[in-house]
A and B are shown apart, each in its own frame.
Chain A
Amino acid sequence: MQRAGAYSKAMTPQPPRTLYQKIWDAHVVERRDDDTCLIYIDRHLVHEVTSPQAFEALRLAGRRVRRPDLTLAVPDHNLPTTARRDAHGQRIAIADAQSAQQLAALEANAPAFGIRYIGDADREQGIVHVVGPEQGFSLPGATIVCGDSHTACHGGLGALAFGIGTSEVEHVLATQTLLLKQSKSMEVRIVGDLPPGVSAKDLVLHITGVLGAAGGSGYVIEYTGAAIRALSVEARLTVSNMAIEHGARAGLIAPDDTTFAYVKGRPYAPTGAAWDQALAWWRSLATDPGATYDKVVVIDVADIAPSVTWGTSPEDVVPITGVVPAPASFADASKRDAAAKSLAYMGLEPGQRLDAVPIQNVFIGSCTNSRIEDLRAAAAVLRGRHKAPGVKWAIVVPGSGLVKAQAEAEGLDDVFVAAGFEWREPGCSACLGMNPDKVPPGERCASTSNRNFVGRQGPGARTHLVSPAMAAAAAVAGHLTDVRTLV
Chain B
Amino acid sequence: MQPVTTIEGRAYPFGQKNVDTDVIIASHWLKTITREGLGRGAFETLRADPDNLFDSAEFAGSPILLAGDNFGCGSSREHAAWALLDLGIRAVIAPSFSDIFSGNAFKNGILTVVLPQAAIDRLIEVAKTQPIHIDLDSQTVTTPFQDRYAFDIDPFRKQCLLGGLDEVGLTLARSDAISGFEARNSVERPFLAQGVPVSA
Per-residue CB contact flags for chain B residues 179-200 toward chain A (1 = under 8 Å, else 0) read 0111011001111101111111
Interface size on A, residues (CB 8 A): 91
Instruction: Please judge, given known A-B contacts A179-B167, A217-B70, A278-B191, whether A165 and B78 are in contact too, CB under 8 Å.
Output: yes
Residue of B15, B69, B180 most packed against chain A (CB within 10 A): B69
From known contacts A5-B189, A176-B178, infer whether A455 and B195 are also in contact, taking CB-CB under 8 Å.
no
Q: A69-B196, A176-B178 are in contact. Are A432 and B74 (CB under 8 A)?
A: no
B171 near A177: Cβ-Cβ < 8 Å: yes
CA A213 – CA B70 in complex, angstroms? Answer: 8
Please tell me the size bucket of the interface on B.
35 or more
- Residues of chain B within 8 A (CB-CB) of A278 are 189, 191-192
Chain A positions near chain B (C-beta within 8 angstroms): 4-5, 26, 29-30, 32, 34, 36, 38, 40, 42, 49-50, 52-53, 56-57, 61, 63, 66-72, 77-78, 96, 98-99, 101-102, 105, 110-111, 114-117, 137, 139, 141-142, 147-149, 151, 162-168, 170-171, 174-177, 179, 181, 183, 213-214, 217-218, 244, 247, 249, 268, 270, 274-275, 277-278, 281, 313, 334-335, 338, 432-434, 451, 453-456, 459
- A338 near B81 (CB under 8 angstroms)? no
Residues of B within 8 A of A4 (CB): 181, 184
Mark B1-40 against chain A: 1 for CB-CB distance below 8 A, else 0: 0000000000000011110101100111011111100000
The 10 nearest A-B residue pairs measured at CB: A69-B195, A165-B104, A98-B31, A163-B76, A270-B191, A165-B78, A214-B70, A167-B107, A52-B33, A278-B191
Q: Given the complex, which residues of A lie within 8 Å of B51, measured CB to CB?
A: none
Which of the residues B26, B30, B77, B180 comes within 8 Å of A455, measured between beta carbons? Answer: B26
How far apart are the CA atoms of A208 and B33 in the complex, in Å?
33
Interface pair B96/A433, CB less than 8 Å apart: no
Write out the residue numbers on chain A whose beta carbons fall within 8 Å of the beta carbon of B135: none
List 27 interface pairs A-B (beta carbons < 8 Å), by A numbering: A30-B177, A70-B195, A71-B195, A99-B31, A115-B199, A117-B199, A147-B76, A148-B76, A149-B75, A165-B100, A166-B78, A174-B168, A174-B172, A179-B171, A213-B18, A214-B73, A244-B74, A249-B100, A270-B194, A277-B190, A434-B28, A451-B74, A454-B45, A455-B23, A455-B26, A455-B45, A456-B22
**Which residues of chain A are near B154, meaning CB under 8 Å?**
34, 36, 181
